[in-house]
Amino acid sequence: MDIRSIMRSAPVIPVIVVEELAHAVPLARALVAGGLPVLEITLRTPVAIEAIRAMSEVPGAIVGVGTVTTPEQLREAEDAGARFAVSPGLTSSLAAAARASRIPLLPGVATASEAMIAMEYGFTALKLFPAQQAGGIGMLKALAGPLPQLVFCPTGGLTPENFRDFLALPNVLCVGGSWVAPKQLVEAGDWDGITQLARAATV
């Protein structure tokens, strides 16, 4: 799948931190059941790569890797079955690795200049990160004028209260956020609660 198709597959991409491998599959199932099939598994815990491998087997899940900062991480996640990658920013080595990779990269930008550099590398679908802190809705509206070819997945600081305002913007295809997979519910194994949060994010 190309990155725009993935971004159009769900309004919200859960940004997921898997602390315990045993949580990976039930968490993925809970989110898919709630209507959020596109999952970003962050490389912030020792089990993240194994979690990607396990969650990729869940029917309906479109599992990607997040917090990618190096070419090695991109390759490792791709080998584990990740179908897309997300990075907080963009470097020349990561852009080169993405070109050599079979899976698409959604690179993070926070300024017009970073967006223009990403365009030079051939990226027109970008993550605005950290979205709220970088200027939020006003920033996305301002970028739409001079850079109309770009579409965004704003991530960082989004909430159940504000994410619909982001989704209403023409240059926003989806948003990312951790609120649909909160640590307390994951640790409690409250998979029904997570399905409900996911469902609430799709209406």
Cα–Cα distance between 90 and 47 in angstroms, integer? 24
Q: Does 15 bind ligand 3PG (CB under 6 A)?
A: yes
Q: Does 195 bind ligand 3PG (CB under 6 A)?
A: no
Neighbours of 198 (CB within 10 A): 22
Choosing from 56, 87, 155, 195, the residue that interacts with ligand 3PG (CB under 6 A) is 155
Q: Does 73 bind ligand 3PG (CB under 6 A)?
A: no
Q: Does 101 bind ligand 3PG (CB under 6 A)?
A: no
- Is-catalytic flag, 127? yes
Q: Whole-number minimum distance, CB 178 to ligand 3PG, in Å? A: 3
Query: Looking only at residues 110 through 139 of this chain, which bind ligand 3PG when binding is defined by CB under 6 A?
Result: 129-130
Q: Does 162 bind ligand 3PG (CB under 6 A)?
A: no
From 78, 127, 161, 187, the catalytic residue: 127
Residue with smaller CB distance to ligand 3PG, 39 or 57: 39
Q: What residue ranges bind ligand 3PG (CB under 6 A)?
A: 15, 129-130, 155-158, 177-179
